[in-house]
Amino acid sequence: MQTSAAMREYLAEIYRLQQDNPTVSTTTLAERLNVSAPAVPRMLKRLKSAGFVKHIPYQGVELTELGTKEALLEIRRHRILEVFLVQIMGFSWDETHEHADALGHGLNDTLTQRMAEMTNFPTRCPHGEPIPNEQGEMPDLNDISIINLGVGQKGTISRVRTNEPEKLRYFASLQLVPGTKFEIVGRAPFNGPMRLRIDQEEVVLGIELTKSLWVIRSTANT
């Protein structure tokens, strides 16, 4: 069976949702893809027939090994397109996800490879998310959510894990982008706000925003 653009879109979204939960419900998938609830079971039936997903009773669906590879190839196309939109076309990082969704339906491997060449074979998208290789393999990651760090710890922002334009613009205004170094100088208890030092400036973030920041922790001698 030939994999359609819609099938690839579903697989990529299931992969993203599985980063937070091993199985994905039809309701969650419908909400994320902005499609009607009846449309999801029909597509999942096609994906199951193709060997891309399996159903877990009373829980939802999860990708098979074949489905994971196909999902990662689609994510590769999407993230390379996002880099192309920023580097070549001059879009800002808060605009790329929506445009990449719209343009990605017609994207094939030949166009993806040419865009990769034109952007010097990127390994991360503009938001810091890793780009799978041509074999559909994700590189090993060693970053963690910033909420796992305590006061006095330092690090470098590796990923900003949101596609919401308003949040991305706000993060950019605070210089909280991939590659930025920080130190945690304060943290309220019970999931309260976190205070970060960026260069000589201090910023305060609530728990919902800190959840989007993934970082590489500095070692004691750096």
According to DSSP, residue 201 is labeled: E
Sequence-distant (6+) residues with CB within 8 A of 37 are 26, 27, 30
Distance CA 170, CA 177 (A): 10
Write down the pLDDT at residue 37. Answer: 86
User: Looking at the predicted structure, is the pLDDT value of residue 222 above 60?
Assistant: no
Q: Are residues 91 and 26 in the same domain?
A: no
Q: How confident is the model at residue 106 (pLDDT cuts 50, 70, 90)?
A: confident
Distance CA 10, CA 70 (A): 10
User: What element of type H or E holds 205?
Assistant: strand 201-205
Mean pLDDT of 13-29: 92
Write down the pLDDT at residue 220. Answer: 62
Give the number of domains in the chain.
3
Q: Are residues 42 and 103 in the same domain?
A: no
| C-alpha distances in Å from residue 178, one per residue of 5, 81, 156, 183 | 30, 18, 7, 15
- 222 inside domain: no
Give me the CATH number covering residue 53. 1.10.10.10
Per-residue pLDDT of 186-217, as tens digits, reads 999 988 999 999 998 999 999 999 999 999 99
- Closest Cα partner for 193 from 201, 179, 203? 203
Per-residue pLDDT of 155-179, as tens digits, reads 999 999 999 999 999 999 999 999 9
| C-alpha distances in Å from residue 47, one per residue of 66, 110, 116, 204 | 11, 24, 28, 44
- 119 inside domain: yes
Mean pLDDT of 83-101: 95
User: Looking at the predicted structure, is the pLDDT value of residue 221 above 60?
Assistant: no
Write down the pLDDT at residue 144. Answer: 95
The pTM of the full predicted model, rounded to 2 decimals, is 0.89
Q: Are residues 117 and 173 in the same domain?
A: no
Q: Are residues 184 and 161 in the same domain?
A: yes
- 69 inside domain: no
User: What element of type H or E holds 171?
Assistant: helix 165-173
Give me the CATH number covering residue 197. 2.30.30.90
Q: Are residues 136 and 150 in the same domain?
A: no
- 40 inside domain: yes
Its domain, for residue 133, covers 76-140
| 3-state secondary structure at position 173 | helix
Mean pLDDT of the chain: 93
User: Looking at the predicted structure, is the pLDDT value of residue 1 above 70?
Assistant: no
Q: Are residues 162 and 210 in the same domain?
A: yes
Q: Are residues 20 and 38 in the same domain?
A: yes
Per-residue pLDDT of 33-55, as tens digits, reads 989 988 999 999 999 999 999 98
| C-alpha distances in Å from residue 13, one per residue of 6, 52, 112 | 11, 13, 19
Write down the pLDDT at residue 102. Answer: 87
Per-residue pLDDT of 45-88, as tens digits, reads 999 999 999 988 888 999 999 999 999 999 999 999 999 999 99
User: Looking at the predicted structure, is the pLDDT value of residue 142 above 80?
Assistant: yes
